[in-house]
Every structure is written in structure tokens, then in C-alpha cells.
Chain A
Amino acid sequence: MTPTQVPAPAGEAPDTADAAGTTEVRNEAAPPRRRRPPWVSLGAYVVTVLALITLNFALPRLMPGNPIDALLAQGADGAVQNDQTRAALTEYYRLDQSIPEQYVHYLGGLTRGDLGRSTTTNGSVGEELGGRVGWSLLLMVAGMLISVAIALPAGIHSGWHRSKRADRNLLGLFLTLQNLPIYLVAAAAFTLLVSKLGLFPPGDATTLFGGYTGFAYVLDVGRHLILPALLLGLDFATYEFLVMRSSMVSELGSDYLLGGRAKGLRQRRLKYHYAARNALLPVVTVIGLQFSVAITSIIFIERIFAYPGVGEYMFLAIGQRDYPAMQGAFLLLTISVVTVNLFVDLVYRRLDPRTSM
């Protein structure tokens, strides 16, 4: 269900992850791995972040239409909105300054943690985002947990029983799932399960004005979370499954397994306790890397389920050409992605002894 391709860590790719859906079986002919020194990774990170900040600033200003027009359009028929008003507004929002001046001011604000004021609500963008980050994170984490719960056992099983019917079926299922557009599945799920059957609440993170507290509140949040998280999890699971499976397959020829079988260890123990554990490493990387792809899926899900997260916020901001809000949300999203990638890059090397030299 990933509408785009698979992510990769900044830097050289581990050869278990390649093009969408394809996982190369590791072969001896692969070029030798080199561990990238951490300061290179950090350096690349800083450059990327700066590039993103600048891109973030530039893009909204390139879009046709601007916040002043959008604001003035809200005015009444008889409201006096002459050039004077327009000039005053433009000055107020600093849009009369030259682009470099605006840029400098923007950067200055960033260093102070000030993301500006939304031109539509006049509220602090930072505050508004803050109120939403929690929900997006909750959705993301729940989705990740569900995806792992689905993909790992399936991948282990499929890889272990490679080429048999179970493997073929699972493979076919997950591959199809991977290519189904997420918005389609989510829209279908919504129409069927929510609108028609009423099995799940129609949107939002909690029952509004429900006044639940304590455990009842947790249940309420859970009830609203389950369907979006499930769909998100299915979306993430497809790729994780493939990597898990491929990694298992790579393990299959290992000597220690042969030795274990010779020693008479039970299949089950071999499968889970040894093979699976060793096969886990690349999957762990992948799970971390899913983050950037996850953003796209999360945005779809948030919109369809009206989940009050950052993705929904960004969309609303675009609809209003609300520059500060757009910038704030986009910045938050992109920098999180890059940061997670960096983290995975730095940590992964430590985790997998086979990739270091």
C-alpha cells in the first residue's frame, strides 16, 4: 500500500534494501561495506536540514495565491479593504519585506523556537502544532506496533517455509497489499466499516464532550485509534514482511543452522530462537526507515479519519495559503524524517557487526 518507494538511510544502502519491493539476496559479489564515520553522517545531516529549511521557506512563496488575498477574501461586502488595508496587512505579516529579509527573520525565529503566527487563526503555530504532535505520534507508534505484529511472524514463517504453498500465498497477499493505494483501502474501510456498519467512530481522536477520565478515557482513545492504526499498520507491514522474509531466507543456508539440525534441535527452536533472531537486524533498520514513507501514509489516514494530527494541519494550512502554518508543519515533518534516518544510520552500524569492518 505504499504509494511511493522505499526509503533508505542517508549514505550507502545496506544491500538488503533496494528498489521497491525487491530485496536482493545477499551475494558474495557485493562490494565490500565501509562504515561511514559518524561525523560524515552528521555533516550530511546538517546540510540536509539547512536545505530543507530553505526549501520550506521558498516553496509556499512560490505557490500562486498568498495569505493576504486569502485573508482579504474573508472580508464582508461593505468592509473597507482598500489599498491602505492591504498595505497595512502586508506590512503586519512582513510580506512587504524583501525575500532575503523575510528569510533572515524566519531563521531568527527558528533559533528562538518561534514558528510564527498562523495567518488564519492568529494563534502561535508552535502551540497549534504542539497540540497535534501527540496525536500523530500516537497514531504512528500504534501503526508501527501493529505492523510489526503482523509482518514479523508472517515474514519468519514465509521465509522459513520458502517456496512452499504458505510462502507463495503470503507473498502474493503482501505484494498485492503493497500495491493497493492506501487511500483506496482506507476509503473503502471507512465507507464500509464506519458509515455503513457503524462499527467504529466517525473520526476524531476522542469522543467530543464525552468527558471521560482515567481508564474510560484510554478506552475511548483506543476505540478511535484502532481502525486508523490498523490501516496504517497494514501499510507498513508489507515492506517489513518482505525484508523479514528475505532476511530469513538469507539465514537459511547458514552453517549454524546446519549444525543445529545435526545436533537434533527442534525445528521450532531453530526457527525462532536462532534464525529469526539473526534475521531481525535488517528488519530493525527497515522499521526505523519506514518513518519517511510513513509520513505520506499518515497524512492520508489523518485526512480520511479526521485524526487531529500534523498532517491534517498541513493540509488545512495549504488550503488557506497560511505560510507560517505550512512552513511549521512541513518543517516538522521533514526534519523528523531526516533525524530518524540519521539516528538509524548511526545506530545501525553499531548493531550489526556484519556491516562493520
Chain B
Amino acid sequence: MLAAGTAIIVAFCFVALFAPWLAPHPAIEPFGENYLGSSPEHLLGTNDNGSDIFSRLIWGSRTTFTVVVCATTIVLAIGLAVGLTAGLRGGFVDTAAMRVVDVFLGLPILPLLIFVATLAGRSLTVSILMIGLFTWPQTARVVRSQTLTLRQRGFISSARGFGAGPWYVIRRHLVPSLGPVIAANLVFVAGLSVAIEAGLAFLGLGDPMAVSWGAEISRAVGNPQILIDQLWLRWLVPAGLALTLAVVGFTLVGVALEPQFNPRTNRAR
């Protein structure tokens, strides 16, 4: 599983980074012949405005990639900060932080996303911020939980007892121990970002002019001709597959990293 997942993620990153060289056509060609079928020139034909579908798929990976990287970074930053603080400080700070997390987790996301998108306008930045905003709570929890465990085990207090400063503790003890757990969690978050971004684009809440897989699906599905001439096969299916594949890739890696899911490391008591 780990191998398959990693392969997918690497391929995805490769395509995203080298898109300008891989894509045979620019993302938008507003004066091309539309609804063309597959040909050597256009591997998947052209869309309703004459742009090459295959190229748009490649360019779309860039958008997804950007979103994933940025959103995951935000989640890492906030989640780590909140989780560490809550776990280390304990007491009131911990309770307060967890209350906030609970409130976030208890809110129905979609209505809020729609509100915010309509309010703040539709752009990639808004999408990224929203994804980050709604996924950091779980990372914070994981971090906090792990920190608490460590605290329980006495590493921290003994290190402190030896006169270690907080940063030293964080560096030498927390990070190595937190690392794997966070990594696994972040990979899940990455997969989630892909899915949410596509969802927003699909609902029309993403950047309307950005080329994204979700937006492509939305555009294809909204076209009344989608079922004529196998249009769906070359327009809708590839975008859906790309999306699914990316998400599955992240999931596989996340699962492989998660100790309790890995059957080999699972131990019965």
C-alpha cells in the first residue's frame, strides 16, 4: 500500500511541477474548435470552448497541488501551535483550546463555506484559507493527545528536571515522537484538501477562472450535451479519475503510516 500510494503522490507532484512542459496546449484556448473528438493533436478532444481537455487536466494538477501544499502548511502551523500549547500547558489553556476545537468540529461545514465564499468572494486564496480553517482542529487534537501521552510518560518532566528549556524539549523529545503521528495525519489532511477544493470548485464556490479538476467536473456536468457522442467519457471521466486517484494516493500513504492500521504493527493486548 505504501508503495502504491507514494508512487501516485510522486507522479502527481511531477505532473504538477512540470506541467508547462508536459501540457501540449495552453489551458485556455478560447477560439479553438469546440467539441472535437479525440485525435493525436487533442488526446481527449476539446471542450465547449475549444480548449484541449488533456492539457487542462495537466494544468489542473497545478491548482490542486498549490492548494494541497498551502492548506497543509496552514493546518500544520495552526494545529501544531494549538495542540502543543494545549498539551504542554494543560489546565485552563488546554480546556479553552479544546472548547474551541469542539466548536469547530461541531459546526456544519458546508453552509458556512457557502456563506464565506459568497461573502469573501471566490478565489483560490479563499478556498485555501477555508480548507485550512476547517481541518486544523483534528491535527490539533492529535498533537495534543500525543503531547499528553508524552507528558504522562515523564520524559518531559525529567528533561525539565535536568534543566532543559522548553525548546530543547520540543526539539529532542516532542518532534521525534510527534513526527510520525503528525505525518500520518497531515497526509490525510492533504487528501482531504484535494477533496474539499474539488468540492468547492464543483459547487461553483472556487475561483471561476482557475483550471481545477473540480471545476472541470462541474463544467462538464453542467453541459447539456454531456451524454452525446461519448463526451462524458473524454471530459468527465478523466477529471473524476484524476481526482479520485490523487485522493486515494494520499489515503494509501496515510493508512500505511498509521500504526494501528498497518496490520503488521497492530498488536493485540
User: Which residues, 285 to 317 on A, are CB-close (under 8 Å) to B?
Assistant: 292, 295-296, 299-300, 314-315
Distance A74 CA – B107 CA, assembled complex (angstroms): 34
Contact A181 B105 (CB under 8 A): no
A253/B106 contact (C-beta < 8 A), A23-B260, A168-B263, A176-B248 known: no
Stretch from B47-55, B111-119, B168-176 that touches the partner: B111-119
A31 touches B148 (CB 8 A): yes
Contact of A87 with B by CB under 8 A: no
B141 touches A337 (CB 8 A): no
Asked if B149 and A29 make an inter-chain contact with CB atoms under 8 angstroms apart, the answer reads yes
Query: Which of A19, A162, A246 contacts B138 (CB under 8 A)?
Result: A19
Note all chain B residues with C-beta closer than 8 A to A179.
191-192, 195, 247-248, 250-251
- B134: shortest Cβ distance to chain A, in Å? 6
Query: Which residues of B have CB within 8 Å of A59?
Result: 115, 119
- Stretch of A148-156, A184-192, A207-215, A266-274 at the chain-chain interface: A184-192
Given A4-B196, A184-B240, A19–B185 Cβ distance below 8 Å?
yes
B188 adjacent to A19 (CB under 8 Å) = yes
Contact across chains for B106 and A7 when beta carbons are under 8 A apart: yes
Binds B, one of A9-17, A78-86, A101-109: A9-17
Q: A195 CA to B221 CA in the complex, in Å?
A: 12
Interface residues of A in 1-60 (CB under 8 A from B): 3-13, 15, 18-25, 27, 29-31, 44, 48, 51, 59-60
The answer to whether A167 touches B263, judged by C-beta atoms less than 8 angstroms apart, is yes
Q: Mark A333-347, 1 if CB is under 8 A from B, else 0.
A: 110011001000000
Does A180 interact with chain B (Cβ within 8 Å)? yes
Instruction: List B contacts of A195 (CB < 8 A).
Output: 227
Q: How would you classify the secondary structure of chain B's contact residues: helix, strand, loop or mixed?
A: helix
Q: State the Cβ distance, A199 to closest chain B Cβ, in Å.
A: 16
A63 contacts B141, C-beta separation under 8 Å: no
Confirm or deny: A135 has a beta carbon within 8 angstroms of a beta carbon on chain B. no
Q: Are A187 and B195 in contact (CB under 8 A)?
A: no
Task: Give the CA-CA distance A196 to B230 in the complex, in Å.
Answer: 12
Assess whether A21 is in contact with B188, with CB atoms less than 8 Å apart: yes
Chain A: which residue is nearest B134 at the CB level?
A4
A22 close to B260 (CB less than 8 A): yes
Q: Is the CB–CB distance between B114 and A6 below 8 Å?
A: no
Instruction: Report whether B119 and A5 are in contact in the complex, using a CB–CB cutoff of 8 Å.
Output: no
Binds A, one of B25-33, B96-104, B156-164: B96-104
Interface: A252 (CB within 8 A):
yes
Are the CB atoms of A249 and B266 closer together than 8 Å?
Answer: yes
Q: Mark contacts of A109-136 with chain B using CB atoms, 8 A cut-off: 1 yes-contact digit, 0 otherwise.
A: 0000000000000000000000000000
Contact indicator A181/B195 (Cβ below 8 Å) = yes
Q: Chain A's nearest CB lies how many Å from the CB of B79?
A: 10
| CB <8 Å contact, B1 and A172 | yes
The answer, yes or no, to whether B152 is at the interface (CB within 8 Å) is yes
Q: How far is the CB of A125 from chain B (nearest CB, A)?
A: 16
What residues of B have a CB within 8 angstroms of the CB of A299 in the complex?
108, 110-111
In the complex, whether A163 has a CB less than 8 A from a CB of chain B is yes
Q: Which residue of B lies closest to A59 (CB)?
A: B115
Shortest CB distance B151–A (Å):
9
CA distance A341 to B153 in the complex (A): 32
**What total of chain A residues lie within 8 Å of the partner, measured CB to CB?**
71
Q: Using A3-B109, A62-B119 as known contacts, say yes or no to A44 and B243 having CB atoms under 8 A apart.
A: no
* A residues in contact with B232, CB < 8 Å: 191
A318 interface contact, C-beta 8 A: yes
User: What residues on A are CB-neighbors of B149 within 8 Å?
Assistant: 27, 29-30
Q: Is B63 an interface residue (CB 8 A)?
A: no
Distance of A175 Cα from B217 Cα, bound (Å):
23
Q: Is the CB of A19 within 8 A of B244?
A: no
| A264 adjacent to chain B (CB < 8 Å) | no
Cβ contact of A63, chosen from B110, B118, B152, B251, cutoff 8 A: B118
Q: Are A162 and B111 in contact (CB under 8 A)?
A: no
Residue A75 at the B interface, CB < 8 A? no
**Which residues from chain A contact B199 at a C-beta distance below 8 Å?**
3, 181, 183
Contact A22 B263 (CB under 8 A): no
State the B residues within 8 Å of A (CB): 1, 98-99, 102-103, 105-111, 114-115, 118-119, 134-135, 137-139, 141-142, 145, 148-149, 152-153, 184-185, 188-189, 191-192, 195-196, 198-199, 202-203, 217, 221, 227, 232, 240, 243-244, 247-248, 250-251, 254-255, 258, 260-261, 263-264, 266, 268-269
10 contacts between A and B (CB under 8 A): A12-B98, A59-B119, A172-B255, A180-B247, A181-B202, A183-B203, A252-B269, A253-B268, A318-B115, A337-B108
Interface of A toward B, CB cutoff 8 Å: 3-13, 15, 18-25, 27, 29-31, 44, 48, 51, 59-60, 62-65, 162-163, 167-168, 171-172, 175-176, 178-181, 183-184, 187-188, 191, 195-196, 246, 249-250, 252-253, 292, 295-296, 299-300, 314-315, 318, 330, 333-334, 337-338, 341
Beyond the given A249-B266, A295-B111, could you list 7 further A-B residue pairs with CB under 8 A, ordered by the A residue number? A10-B102, A20-B189, A22-B142, A22-B185, A175-B255, A296-B109, A330-B111
Closest 9 CB pairs of A and B: A253-B269, A163-B263, A295-B108, A19-B138, A296-B110, A179-B251, A5-B138, A181-B195, A19-B142
